[in-house]
Amino acid sequence: AYGERMAVEWLDGARYADSSGYQTDAERSMWRYRDWVIDAYNANMPFDQFTIEQLAGDMLPGATLDQRIASAFNRNHSQNGEGGIIPEEFLVENVVDRVSTTGTVWLGLTLGCARCHDHKFDPISQQEFYEVFAHFNNVPERGKAFKYGNSPPMITAPTDDQFAALAEIDEKIAEAREAFASVEADAATAQREWEASLPAAGRVDWVLRDRLLVHHPLDGDVAGIYTGEPITVSPPVTAGVRAPREPVTVDLPVTAALKDGQPQFVPGRVGEALGFDGQRFVDAGDIANFTYEDPFTVSAWIHPTAADGVILSRAYAGDQGERGWGLYLVDGKLLVNLSQRYADDGVRVETRAALPLNEWRHVLATYDGKRLPGGFRIYVDGRPQELTTLADGINNPMRTKEPLRIGASGPPSEESGATESHARFQGLIDDVRVYTAVLTPAQAAVVATAESLDEIAGIAPESRTAGQSEKLRLSFLDHYAPQEIQAAWRLVGNLERERAALWDSFPTVMVMDEMEPRRETFLLERGAYDAPGEPVTPGVPAVLPPLPDDQERNRLAFARWLVDPEHPLTARVTVNRFWQMLLGTGLVKTAENFGLQGEYPSHPELLDWLATTFIDSGWDVKALQRTIVTSATYRQASAVTPELLEEDPENRLLARGPRLRLPAQTIRDQALTVAGLLVDRIGGPSVKPYQPDGLWDQASQDYRQSDGDDLYRRSLYTYWKRTLAPPSMLAFDSATRETCIVRQTRTNTPLQALNLMNDVTYVEAARRLAERMMIEGGATPEERVAFAYRLATAHRPRPEVQGILAGGFRDYLDRYQADRSAALELVNVGESPRDETLDISELASYTMVASMVLNLDRTITKD
């Protein structure tokens, strides 16, 4: 619980949330960073190490996974993925946020004030602001973030349990490989014998079927060629997928390329091929409707007679450009596109080299589901091609209602109001395949091997290409090997696929990373992204100690500079926040601002002593807190005389102990604890407890309430949407986490009392506390209300308070005995089951008393 309590304030400063902010404010996954913070506090990580790992953990020599996760501190900011934004503008905004947050958390300075120009009395100049800016301006990120999910740079970050599961399957894979190795010699012998038999067996061929979604051999039949009337055809070969239904009629002109109303088949590269004349196309039905997260591979043999044409696509062109995916010829070059809007929401690459016309070429493209151009590979005749990036990221899933088409894209009807986005193919297409996985280079070479097995077997082994040799090997192991060899080989493949699926299920987290060469930084005139002035290099404000001369000026040097024992601010700012957390107000009240506009320390010598003691202890956080909470100052009673209250209402003189309302998250957690509902499990994905119905109706996502134990996790784990933070916590002045906050305001409003009385969480907690009162609290109403009061407040009630609560119980009992339906409605609030052995009227009455106890000022106040 210690690490979780400490993490609450830190995450407010770190602007941690489960959504990205701005208009869409869609979900992302950063909870592994939140768990790192909890673990660091529980382990009492020295604060200097805590600082360095969060600001530059990725730059430490041999950085561990945990250190890279820690660097997510500076990726916690809001990120904009809206359509139409200018990426360069938000690239600057991201860095400005990092500078402002770092300045607030470690320096207690409002560095962002110097973004636009110098100020007469500000010791931080605009030049120095951009020198600090330069430390954080070298991240390989896009100014336009992904609208949904995490944006690069990011890493896969398994938990300890997930690593254990991975180790278990790795052990199985090692055993399976060992088992296959034991029969590999027998397999090689059997394969040679099999190869020797092939030339006399006639034509024998094999198709790679691992994750094959659909295969159109185009050998005399197709699916969905339209000539004004649908043609009755055999369904395409599929692997584990139902063949698409026969499509509806589409009116296309009859062309001379048709013979007797049938498609034109000619000798192809593999058997027959289908002729395309710029009009005809194949409608393959409702299949391969990939999103940007789906890895896939598409391939075909093509013999183009024109430099432009669609090879394979599931896309159409609407009023915002092409939507969907496709493989095209454009000016003779192969182009792969995934887009929601062609102009500004897509990822697209093309080959640097053009294909020759009137020649057969095998083309194959893979996409890894990562939404970036680096996830594409294009092969021609099994050889990887150099690519040029044309569009660098896609934000929307880009599913379409259009069918998969061979030779065309865009709706051929006018019903949608759209037009075709690319010319239809002219030439021949053969052997079209779609896989639901990224084929390896070796597999790509196999798919590009047109020769049949018997033809390859007739070639001397030393003269075979790598693709030919691999095709023989894979076909033998897949189909022709003895059963025990096939079983051993398939077990390895199945386990490797299982491992890949397991790895893909692990959480990711956005982290910091460095570019080579460095991105150049400029002083921005008026702070505007599009008004660069003179270039600047990484540095620090002149009013503070300089960076060491013997280190490269980068984020790591900056982080180490912050926790140098001679640094005048970091330790003071940090101990001031711990003092604020424990006593309510910092020695410097303006914890976020130690500058000229901030408040002077109430006890400067005490602040200095705590800071130096903190450093001398090795930046030991627990030791510092122990010093504070065992001090005579902290252990004073919080009682105050009217005279002292008038003279010192905020207790700046420290003449009494602290008395302050609990933090927003703690109020809910305390209610769950005294009710016996709190699930005290550390870490894991965020959860969605009760919220008012309809609250998210106008938001961009649906709120799907959690169930079971997830309803009763600590508030720290509640899903945090920046534009719609949990209302019960906002009512008690929780930060929205849209920006860095290190000092909370405290207000008193009627909404707080209404929240404690009516929110499902507190009504259910009151009912469960009532059950404890009846089972554990004694035999009389007086004993039971005293039990509840002691649980909730850690005090025994005064006799008059005990009498009021017991009298309230008796009044409620009269009411609920007369209205059992109202009692039943009350005790059934919430998902946790009620104890059906208890009398409903009594339980409802004690529930109302428990609600009163949970609403007491003493219950939600630390004193």
Whether 342 and 412 map to the same domain: the answer is: yes
Sheet with 333-341, side-by-side order of all strands: 282-285, 404-406, 309-318, 321-330, 333-341, 345-351, 387-393
Residue 342 is predicted with a pLDDT of: 79
Report the distance separating Cα 85 and Cα 441, nearest Å: 37
Identify the CA nearest to 106 among candidates 619, 668, 482.
Answer: 619
Question: Among residues 550, 567, 584, which one ends one of the domains?
Answer: 567
Kindly state the average pLDDT of the residues 464-478.
95
Phi-psi region of 549 (alpha: psi -120 to 50; beta: other; left: phi over 0): alpha
Residue indicated by tokens 């997928």: 241
Considering the domain boundaries, does residue 642 fall inside one? no
Q: Taking 50 as the threshold, does the pLDDT of residue 251 lie above it?
A: no
Q: Which structural domain range is residue 416 located in?
A: 208-439
Identify the CA nearest to 720 among candidates 111, 30, 88.
Answer: 30
CA angle 370/101/120 to nearest 5° reads 135
Residue 412 is predicted with a pLDDT of: 46
Kindly state the average pLDDT of the residues 562-576.
98
Question: Among residues 461, 476, 506, which one ends one of the domains?
Answer: 506
Q: What is the number of structural domains in the chain?
A: 4
Q: What would the pLDDT profile of 720-737 be if each residue is shown by its tens digit?
A: 999 999 999 999 999 999
Considering the domain boundaries, does residue 416 fall inside one? yes
Whether 725 and 784 map to the same domain: the answer is: yes
Report the distance separating Cα 157 and Cα 63, nearest Å: 14
The pLDDT confidence band at residue 133, using thresholds 50, 70 and 90, is very high
| Residue 2 tokens, joined | 């210690």
Q: What would the pLDDT profile of 758-801 be if each residue is shown by its tens digit?
A: 999 999 999 999 999 999 999 999 999 999 999 999 999 999 99
Q: Taking 60 as the threshold, does the pLDDT of residue 394 lie above it?
A: yes
Report the distance separating Cα 812 and Cα 852, nearest Å: 12
Q: Which residues pair with 429 in a beta bridge?
A: 274, 302
Report the distance separating Cα 88 and Cα 522, nearest Å: 13
Considering the domain boundaries, does residue 26 fall inside one? yes
Kindly state the average pLDDT of the residues 204-225.
80
Whether 273 and 369 map to the same domain: the answer is: yes
Whether 471 and 544 map to the same domain: the answer is: no
Q: Taking 60 as the threshold, does the pLDDT of residue 231 lie above it?
A: no
Q: Which residues contact 159 (CB under 8 A, 6 or more apart)?
A: 32, 35, 507, 683, 684
Whether 39 and 64 map to the same domain: the answer is: yes
pLDDT-wise least confident of 128-137, 211-220, 677-686: 211-220
Q: Which helix (H) or strand (E) is 297 found in, with range?
A: strand 296-304
Considering the domain boundaries, does residue 607 fall inside one? no
Q: Taking 60 as the threshold, does the pLDDT of residue 135 lie above it?
A: yes
Q: What would the pLDDT profile of 403-424 be if each residue is shown by its tens digit?
A: 888 998 876 445 545 566 788 9
Identify the CA nearest to 9 among candidates 670, 571, 665.
Answer: 665
Residue 395 is predicted with a pLDDT of: 82
What residue type is 94 in one-letter code? Answer: N
Whether 198 and 306 map to the same domain: the answer is: no
What residue type is 691 in one-letter code? Answer: Q
pLDDT-wise least confident of 335-339, 355-359, 416-420, 830-834: 416-420
Residue 597 is predicted with a pLDDT of: 87
Considering the domain boundaries, does residue 171 fall inside one? yes
Evaluate the omega torsion of the peptide bond into residue 517 and state whether it is cis, within 30 degrees of 0.
yes
Kindly state the average pLDDT of the residues 96-124.
95
For residue 98, CA distances in Å to 78, 128, 536, 555 come to 11, 15, 17, 12
Question: Among residues 414, 439, 464, which one ends one of the domains?
Answer: 439
Kindly state the average pLDDT of the residues 566-578.
98
Whether 162 and 151 map to the same domain: the answer is: no
Residue 343 is predicted with a pLDDT of: 76
SS3 content of the chain, % helix, strand, coil (to 5): 40, 15, 45
Residue 240 is predicted with a pLDDT of: 29
What residue type is 801 in one-letter code? Answer: V
Whether 400 and 412 map to the same domain: the answer is: yes
Identify the CA nearest to 286 among candidates 435, 402, 414.
Answer: 402
Whether 243 and 368 map to the same domain: the answer is: yes
| Residue 116 tokens, joined | 């636009």
pLDDT-wise least confident of 142-156, 401-415, 516-530, 712-726: 401-415
Whether 831 and 690 map to the same domain: the answer is: yes
Kindly state the average pLDDT of the residues 311-327.
86
Other C-beta atoms within 10 Å of 696: how many? 16
Q: What would the pLDDT profile of 266-290 be if each residue is shown by its tens digit?
A: 899 998 999 998 888 888 888 899 9
Residue 419 is predicted with a pLDDT of: 60
Residue 516 is predicted with a pLDDT of: 94
Whether 365 and 403 map to the same domain: the answer is: yes
Q: What is the pTM of this model?
A: 0.90
Residue 244 is predicted with a pLDDT of: 32
Helix, strand or coil, per DSSP, at residue 49? helix
CA dihedral 797, 803, 807, 808 (to 10 degrees): -30
Whether 368 and 302 map to the same domain: the answer is: yes
Report the distance separating Cα 689 and Cα 461, nearest Å: 65
pLDDT-wise least confident of 314-318, 319-323, 411-415, 463-467: 411-415
**Could you tell me where the beta strands, DSSP code E, fall in 476-550?**
508-510, 521-524, 532-536
Residue 633 is predicted with a pLDDT of: 96
